[in-house]
Amino acid sequence: MSLGLCCQFIEPVHKRTGNVVYKNIIEEKTLQLGAFKAGKYPLSRIRSTYHHNVDQHIKLVPKLVALNIRSFRLSSCLLPLWDMNSKMIKDDDILVSKLGKLGKLFADNSIRVTTHPGQFTVISSDNPNVVKNSITELEYHAWVFDAMDLPLSSYAAINIHGGKANRSNAIVSVYKSLPDNIRLRLTLENDEKCYSVQQLLDVHDRCGVPVVFDSHHFTFNTSNMSFAQAFDDTRSTWGKIKPLQHISNTEPGFENAAFNQKRAHSQYIHRIPDMQLEAMQANTIDVDVEAKHKNLALLDMRSKFNISC
């Protein structure tokens, strides 16, 4: 268990024109807020969307097993418009049973499951409504993980960014107030602008939240820490749980481009910092592969860098 697949499983589709496009075979269905509020979705459509999305993930697990992929990031879009339909979801015994089946499939095959709520999950916001909505989003992920019977620990990480800069006190305060099924799974990831590794280590010292080290983000926001110190200090925040990290690259040719181009994820992984690579090869960390070509990039990375799993 080492390299993690993020949210999608893509396969090449060869067009009659000779072009190749890449298709996500999970094919999650979505629900649009505007259409939902306008009453354009019959109840049957809403229910079928949720069942379809869970069914697609159940069908995915054998593919992960066949490729020896032992870590998977679950999409935040599994149950769209959760906040509008949470009672319906919770009361759907068949759907809940399917989530339990999915969780058991992951567990029986030793596949670590994590998730990464989006950029609008900001528990450090000055706006109480943003914080409230962020907690609702975290409640959704925690409920899904509970329904799947995933561990009540950061092994089943619900990973977020620090959010609004210079609001460490808010992070600590909200973190301490969260229910156990969120708090015990929550992790914080360093980013390029708002929260460096050092700032998150300070937050960890105050409340114990583990820190997910993103080596790509670190290159943009080091806070004068060495890579070795950042790498080792973040790993120490995980206690007995296997640390989770991220790897991504700047697309080759964009090294001297504008900031947003440099920070964007490349299609494949071309470079891994030495310490991170050594830990991958020794299987002492799990690393989400944040590359646009998803499983294809993961398998390419295994071969290119002699990583066994």
Instruction: Output the pTM of the full model.
Output: 0.95
pLDDT at position 41 is: 96
User: Residue 71: beta bridge partners?
Assistant: 112
pLDDT digit string (tens) for 244-293?
Answer: 999 999 999 998 889 889 999 999 999 999 999 999 999 999 999 999 99
Which pLDDT does position 122 carry in this prediction? 97
Range 159-187 average pLDDT: 97
Q: Check pLDDT > 90 for residue 165.
A: yes
Using the predicted structure, report yes or no on whether residue 1 has a pLDDT greater than 80.
no
- Torsions phi, psi of 158, nearest 5? -105, 100
Fold (topology level) of 3-305: TIM Barrel (3.20.20)
Section 162-171 average pLDDT = 96
* Of 21 and 188, more confident: 188
Closest alpha carbon to 241 in 160, 176, 153: 153
Mean pLDDT of 72-100: 97
pLDDT in tens, 208-257: 999 999 999 999 999 999 999 999 999 999 999 999 999 999 999 998 88
Picking from 15-29, 91-105, 292-306, which range would have the lowest pLDDT averaged per residue?
Answer: 15-29
Those residues whose C-beta lies under 8 Å from the C-beta of residue 110, and which sit 6 or more positions away, are 1, 70
Residue whose pair of structure tokens reads 């649009």 in the numeric block:
32
Determine whether 255 is exposed, middle or buried from the number of CB atoms within 10 Å of its CB (0-12, 13-18, 19+). Answer: exposed
Distance CA 33, CA 103 (A): 28
- Residue 226's SS3 state is coil
Q: What is the pLDDT of residues 11-53, one digit of tens each?
A: 988 888 989 888 999 999 999 999 999 999 999 999 999 999 9
Question: Which distant-in-sequence residues (6+ apart) come within 8 Å of 167 by Cβ?
Answer: 124, 125, 126
Q: pLDDT tens-digit profile of 106-148?
A: 999 999 999 999 889 999 999 999 999 999 999 999 999 999 9
- CA-nearest of 175, 98, 93, 77 to 131 is 175
